[in-house]
Structures are given as structure tokens and as C-alpha cells.
């Protein structure tokens, strides 16, 4: 082998070794940087972690409205979800950048679980409204327990959290109902403003009822399921939101409203 050819082989071999070393160093560097970034992200996540309001447990009590000096109110919608009216309500809330609270019925959850996920994913609060919407005052405590705990499980399975808010069908809540709610650390949420949308009230009268009764800390009752009458709710909702904002009100979830409570 000539000396010249030998030198070429030696040079090429050396270059291959050097390139291998450089590549190995680069891989080690990328791994170190990646590990440092992941550590930093984990540290920041831990520092910035916020416990969602709907994961906070409350001591049982019954709430009709919240005493506050802040001009804040909570829109609430009962009896859903469905795949016709509830999505239209969600569209209106999204367009107006408003958050609300939905008290959901278990048998409806089974029919339209995707709507439940949408409610949750868009930042609205979900409360428990029983599985079958019965008059709980006519039931034994074991039946009441099943209605409430089974619906909490349905909601948790779809959203990852257990509701802390409960609204009793027809507003009925016997001593037995209260006992079950205490055991499950649920707040009993009623309302102070009834828009009467459940009575097939016209959109104009729904708005009039709201204007007549609303004040800071109000919890407003409406519905997102229940037949053609909900169409009136949908027609009235944009005007309700517009008027409330014009009066200086912020529209928040029930749990956010409770945070504004003064004693």
C-alpha cells in the first residue's frame, strides 16, 4: 500500500471517529436540555397549580342567592343536556364570553354525553340534578341517595370531577334529602330569580321577569331542556345577557359567585 493511500485512510478514519464523538456529545446535550426543560415545566406547574372551584368541598347549606356588594349574578340552566337546545345555549354563551352553571339530569347525560363534555370543556360549571328528576320528598332515603350519588358518578366519569352543587327537582328538599347532601358534602342551590321559562313564557316576559327580580348576588333559574318552550329561553338569552352587561353585571358560575360572598 502506498504511503499516500495510507494517509487518506488514516485521515478518513480519524474524521469518522471525530464525527461520532461530536454526534454523541450532541445527543447527550439534547438529553440534558430536554431533562432540564421538563424539570422546569414541572416546577412551574407545581407553583402555578390552582385548585378548580368545582373541586373544593363545602359544608352543607342551602343557598338562594349570595350576599355580595359585587354586581355579579349566576345564570343557571336545569334539566339538560340534550343535543338540540343545550348546544344553542352554549353557542350563545360562547359568543358572549359568559360562563354559566348547568344542573344536569342523569338520564339525559346517558343520551348526550358529548354535550356534557362540551359544557365542561368550555369552562362552565356542572351541578347535580338527580338521575331521573323525581320528587325526592316522596322517596325513601336509600332511593334519594341512589339518585344523587349515581348522578355524581356519571358526571365524574365524563368530566373527571365530582360536583359540589346540587339542585333538587321542583325545589323540593326534605330533611332526608338534606341528610344525603350533608353526607356527600353538597351545597343545595336554589334560586332567587325565576324567569318562568318553564311555563312557556314569551321571550319578552322572560326578560321582564329577569329585570324585575335581579340584584347583585342573584341566582337565575332557566332551563336547557324540556320541549319547545326552551326555544323561548334561547330567544330571550342574548337580550338577557346584553341587558345585564349594560347594567354593569358580570355573569359568573355559582361557585364563582359564592367566592364573592360577604358576611
pLDDT tens sequence across 126-157: 999 999 999 999 999 999 999 999 999 999 99
45 band by pLDDT with thresholds 50, 70 and 90: very low
Residue written as cell 337580550? 239
The pLDDT-based confidence of 52 (bands split at 50, 70, 90) is very low
Q: What is the predicted pLDDT for the residue at 159?
A: 96
Q: Which residues contact 67 (CB under 8 A, 6 or more apart)?
A: 217, 261, 262, 263
Beta bridge partners of 187: 165
Write phi, then psi, for 165 (nearest 5 degrees).
-115, 140
Known catalytic residues are 78, 223
Amino acid at each position: 500500500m502506498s504511503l499516500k493511500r495510507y494517509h487518506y485512510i488514516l485521515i478518513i478514519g480519524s474524521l469518522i471517529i471525530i464525527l461520532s464523538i461530536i454526534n454523541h456529545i450532541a445527543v447527550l446535550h439534547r438529553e440534558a436540555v430536554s431533562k432540564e426543560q421538563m424539570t422546569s415545566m414541572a416546577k412551574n406547574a407545581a407553583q402555578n397549580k390552582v385548585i378548580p372551584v368545582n373541586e373544593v368541598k363545602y359544608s352543607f347549606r342551602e343557598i338562594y342567592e349570595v350576599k355580595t356588594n359585587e354586581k355579579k349574578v349566576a345564570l343557571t340552566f336545569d334539566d339538560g343536556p340534550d343535543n338540540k337546545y343545550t348546544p344553542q345555549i352554549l353557542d350563545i354563551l360562547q359568543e358572549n364570553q359568559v360562563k354559566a352553571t348547568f344542573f344536569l339530569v342523569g338520564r339525559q347525560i346517558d343520551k348526550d354525553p358529548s354535550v356534557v363534555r362540551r359544557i365542561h370543556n368550555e369552562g362552565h360549571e356542572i351541578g347535580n340534578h338527580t338521575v331521573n328528576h323525581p320528587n325526592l320528598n316522596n322517596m325513601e332515603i336509600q332511593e334519594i341517595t341512589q339518585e344523587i350519588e349515581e348522578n355524581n358518578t356519571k358526571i365524574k366519569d365524563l368530566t373527571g370531577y365530582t360536583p359540589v352543587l346540587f339542585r333538587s327537582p321542583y325545589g323540593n328538599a326534605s330533611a332526608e334529602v338534606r341528610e344525603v347532601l350533608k353526607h356527600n358534602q353538597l351545597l343545595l342551590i336554589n334560586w332567587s330569580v325565576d324567569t318562568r321559562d318553564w311555563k312557556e313564557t314569551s321571550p319578552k316576559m322572560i326578560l321582564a321577569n329577569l329585570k324585575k327580580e335581579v340584584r347583585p348576588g342573584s341566582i337565575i333559574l332557566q332551563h336547557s331542556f324540556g320541549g319547545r318552550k326552551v326555544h323561548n329561553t334561547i330567544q330571550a338569552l342574548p337580550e338577557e345577557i346584553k341587558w345585564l352587561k349594560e347594567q354593569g353585571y358580570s355573569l359568573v358560575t355559582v361557585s364563582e359567585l359564592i367566592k364573592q360572598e360577604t358576611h
